[in-house]
Amino acid sequence: MNINDIRSQFPILGEQVHGRPLVYLDNAATTQKPQRVIDALTDYYSHLNANIHRGAHHLAAVATERYEAVRLQVMKFIGALSPDEIVFTRGTTESINLVAASFAKAYFDGDDEVIVSGMEHHSNIVPWQLAGATLRPIPFTDEGVLDLEAYERLFTDKTKLVSVCHVSNTLGTVNPVQRIVEIAHAHGVPVLVDGAQAVSHLQVDVRALDCDFYCFSGHKMYAPMGVGVVYGRDRLLKALPPYQGGGEMIEEVTFQRTTYNRLPFKFEAGTPSVGDVLGLGRAIDFMQEVGVDNIAAHEADLLRYATERLSSLPGIRIYGTAPDKAAVLSFLVGEAHPYDVGTLVDQLGVAVRTGHHCTQPVMDRYGIPGTVRASFAVYNTRAEVDAFFAALERVLPMLQ
């Protein structure tokens, strides 16, 4: 893996912030985009823009072909069996809302429990509440490891679904999804995996995981904002009612009765974000060219190095010290408020995120208002980690 070659593909990494070279360590919020992804958007709007699936004309036909080719690419990338199992959405949030709304309509009976982990992003909490479920959170240890014995005890005859994140966006924990699925299936309960923080860091194989739904966002894996995916097991997707009504999702409409299109179109009402989907295809090309295992190894090295350096700071508290972690480092130092740390290191060109990271229950678990979070991507370097610590060492004395 040639890091200089990789960095040269990301034009934004050449930007200056407050007169200093940008050090972008907010990758869990969104990754930057390689030139080929940016080009996919301009190429699409310059040469190909057309509404797909409907037109008889050339542009519509080619745009449709390219859009459907990305569906196949996504299918292979995550190990799905059929393109019918890949539904394009706007992102993880919409993906989970889609499953929650449709699943509730099909299977909820007014007394329904959904098991989630205690470390979920709000977008894997609120959709279930909107659907009327009572949530049963799996507790986790101080290190950020899920308690699987406690998990087993959460199943009741009201449990309709288990919905857990693959990787925590706040603690970095890689959850033992395969085992979580095994246990749920032994109870006859399907599992949704929120893969928003996993797809860009580790090789995802939905068949090896044996999960029933897998949701993720393009923009966290080097693709544009505005595109996401629901993988759903063919049999389950077939049984679910549509999420939204409109164009494309229908077979026949009359004022009396409507029949629905086949999978996956049943879940893709309206005009999709075609250019963004094409960008997602180029982002997958990028990741496969570099190699997902190489990306994981590089990020693991950065995480190890940054954790080591951070541990040497006096008054440091790291949140999330699970043995199996990916690319995320959340911490507090002494009495310094996370927001102040973030604002001051920004003045030195370093972008980190501060706050509750849309995981308020995690903050409640530790009794803290928020953390400072550095999160890594394939283009980050040890030199950037050094720049981050140089910035921290400058600002922390001002905050004690």
Using CB under 6 A as the criterion, which residues of the chain lie in contact with ligand 7TS when the complex forms? 28-29, 91-93, 121, 123-124, 165, 169, 194, 196-197, 217, 219, 353, 357-358
- Rounded distance, CA 145 to CA 346, Å? 31
Decide whether 180 or 396 has the Cβ nearer to ligand 7TS. 180
**Count of residues making up the chain:** 400
DSSP 212-235: SEEEEEGGGGTSPTT-EEEEE-HH
- Rounded distance, CA 215 to CA 285, Å? 20
138 alpha-carbon distance from chain centroid: 20
What is the nearest approach in angstroms of ligand 7TS to the Cβ of residue 293?
Answer: 22
Cα angle: 96, vertex 113, 162; to 5 degrees:
50
The one catalytic residue among 165, 211, 215, 358:
358
Decide whether 59 or 135 has the Cβ nearer to ligand 7TS. 135
Decide whether 116 or 196 has the Cβ nearer to ligand 7TS. 196
What is the nearest approach in angstroms of ligand 7TS to the Cβ of residue 262?
Answer: 26
What is the nearest approach in angstroms of ligand 7TS to the Cβ of residue 191?
Answer: 15
165 is a catalytic site residue:
no
Decide whether 174 or 348 has the Cβ nearer to ligand 7TS. 174
What is the nearest approach in angstroms of ligand 7TS to the Cβ of residue 388?
Answer: 18
Decide whether 95 or 261 has the Cβ nearer to ligand 7TS. 95
What is the nearest approach in angstroms of ligand 7TS to the Cβ of residue 30?
Answer: 7
Nearest to 380 by CA among 312, 311, 301: 301
Q: Which residues contact 297 (CB under 8 A, 6 or more apart)?
A: none
Residue reference for tokens 């530790």: 366
How far apart, in Å, are the Cα atoms of 43 and each of 13, 54, 63? Answer: 22, 21, 11
SS3 category, 263: coil
For the annotated catalytic residues, the residue numbers are: 358
